[in-house]
Structure 1
Amino acid sequence: MEAVISELLGIVARKIPKKLITSRANQWLGSGLSFANGLILITFFLLVVTVLPLRGTLKQDIAASGLARPLVGLADRYGGNVRSTLDDATRQAIKFLTVQPESTERIILEVVPPKTELTVDSASEAQMLVRINEERSKVGAAILTINPQIVPVARAHSRDMFERKYFSHINPEGKDAGDRLNEEKTLRMRRM
């Protein structure tokens, strides 16, 4: 079917007079269509960025932009289900990358910062807890709080995941959070 359409369009294109093809009107029309195509591609990129779970101020920058904000607004108004489709795709990707607490599955991390760049980000930890509690409250689960005694164990596991390029509740040796907490408690008792 595609070959037939291509051949028919080729026949039509050969029938167009050269004078019309090289005319100023055709050049302006081509430029206008290319500009519109560029705006559509930029708008799609902006929509993708606005639905991704990104850190930093990129989403706020888009919302404050004199050009990006109207483009995203027009896409929301006239683009049909584009944003909801992108939202659904993002949710599916997040589900795909979510490791359930009881699971022994792991996600291999492809990009890992150098060890020297790993730092504690207490503000992000607090923000993550707020988001977790928001989701827990939606399903009627109890609110979680930070236990300062287990924070070092959690941070050590986080560092281990980055350094050894995996993401899981269970480390490659098969130890879960309870095992790590028990090891820390044993080490603390030995130090006394």
Structure 2
Amino acid sequence: MAPYLQTVTSFADVPVSDAGVDTVAFLKAAEGVVGLFDLLGSPAFVFVKTDLQTNIGKVRERYNAFPDKSSTLELLVVNEKGEKKRKATEGLMWLLRGLAFTCKALLISQANATQELAESFTKAYGLTLEKFHGFLTQKAIALAMKACPYRATLNEKLCADPAGGAPVSEAEMNEGLNKWLAALDAIVTRVQTFYTTGGHDKGF
């Protein structure tokens, strides 16, 4: 079996067309991010893992109820617009924010080979989620970030073969991780721009 990133749906394989981002493939890829935090097994990421799972569930519930009107993320949001609660629209908004945080943290880490994860994730939090949280939540998360695993631990687990075979090299792992992150960043940016330009992030 291939290392972790090859066992999940890559954001690079999520179909994106003029109509939007494929909902089913996107949710499968997002589940891979949840699995990444499981792989790390650190209490520092409990808050983001739980948030991701909850919001994946909200979007999937909407898709299951109205698959014909939810084939892309954009279509799902547009078709929920006239409803009172817009549960999936809000869930997707927060899911994108959680993914943006994760993506930014790993991009910072990849760009700074000697930087520990605690610093990378703390910087990413300040650039993404912090402005949406109250003072007490900010302080709690700042404390949690101190419990981030070491960078070497992440690299070792991403290189390891889940089936127990020989690990891949860090160079090979980094190549796959960079591709995964680039695609994730592009999708998050695209859909967040859709939210902003369409005013879909208002009213929550």
* TM, length-normalised to structure 2: 0.24
RCO higher in structure (CA 8 A, sep ≥6): 2
Name the larger-Rg structure.
1
Name the structure where helix makes up a greater proportion of residues.
2
TM-score normalised by L of structure 1: 0.25
